[in-house]
Amino acid sequence: NAGVMQNPRHLVRRRGQEARLRCSPMKGHSHVYWYRQLPEEGLKFMVYLQKENIIDESGMPKERFSAEFPKEGPSILRIQQVVRGDSAAYFCASSLLGQGRNTIYFGEGSWLTVV
Amino acid sequence: DQQVKQNSPSLSVQEGRISILNCDYTNSMFDYFLWYKKYPAEGPTFLISISSIKDKNEDGRFTVFLNKSAKHLSLHIVPSQPGDSAVYFCAASLNTGNQFYFGTGTSLTVIP
């Protein structure tokens, strides 16, 4: 499967636990984006990364959230000490280019439920 | 601040007729526009795009129109099919930026 792969698809965490969401971009893509969709809302940008670099994290909450895209392996979105308000669908996307007239392709999403 | 707006949360259309989904934006610097389709519990799927130097782009049953002076774009689906029933998101980006700004989506129902 050459598409964007996300796992887990569904994750349940108790308040205060950590959530780790993984994303492998499409083959040949080195640009990764994370978006969040809260219930009844649109897609909100969180962070944009290239290999080993965070390029734009202007959409990330200042606390508890972090992202990385190591030289080897998938991109990881990490949420520490989860709260109920973190319950959402988290979508990863990747692109061939980093900017300009660029198309991003999404994965299937990871649904986080905090209980 | 919602820079891309889809003011119709839902739309119902008869099978075979035209579906028109609308999107407005506020930032005149947006350079590239995209439409995505999303089924429940799945990720958004890229449909069609248009750059600011064009006013129309067509791909099969899907046509996107861009009116820069009105800061408005629309997606036309002709003829509509029941399988088109999904949520449609429009998105915009800046030429120098790496964020894509999404609207809140329009849920399309095509009635057989």
Express each pLDDT in A19-71 by its tens digit.
999 999 999 899 999 999 987 788 999 999 998 899 999 999 989 999 999 99
Helix, strand, coil distribution of chain A in percent, nearest 5: 5, 50, 50
**What are the beta bridge partners of residue A22?**
A7, A76
Shortest alpha-carbon distance between residue B40 and chain A (Å): 10
Q: Does A10 touch chain B (CB under 8 A)?
A: no
pLDDT number for residue B90: 96
Cβ distance A42 to B104 less than 8 Å, yes or no, reads yes
From B87, which residue of chain A is nearest by alpha-carbon distance? A42
Q: Count the alpha carbons within 13 Å of A68 in the hemisphere toward its beta carbon.
A: 7
CB-based contact, B21 to chain A, within 8 Å: no
pLDDT tens-digit map of B31-68: 999 999 999 889 999 999 999 999 999 999 999 999 99
Q: Using an 8 Å Cβ cutoff, are A75 and A92 in contact? A: yes
Gap between the Cα atoms of A29 and B35, Å rounded: 20
Enter the DSSP assignment of A80: -
Which stretches of A55-110 are DSSP H helices?
Answer: none
Q: A46: which chain B residues are within 8 Å (Cβ-Cβ)?
A: none
Query: Quick one: which of B13, B9, B8 has its CA closest to B111?
Result: B13
User: B99 vs A103: CB contact, 8 Å cut-off?
Assistant: no
Q: Report chain A's mean pLDDT, rounded to a whole number.
A: 92
Q: What is the rounded distance in angstroms from the CA atom of residue A7 to the CA atom of residue A92?
A: 10
Find residue B58's DSSP bridge partners: B63
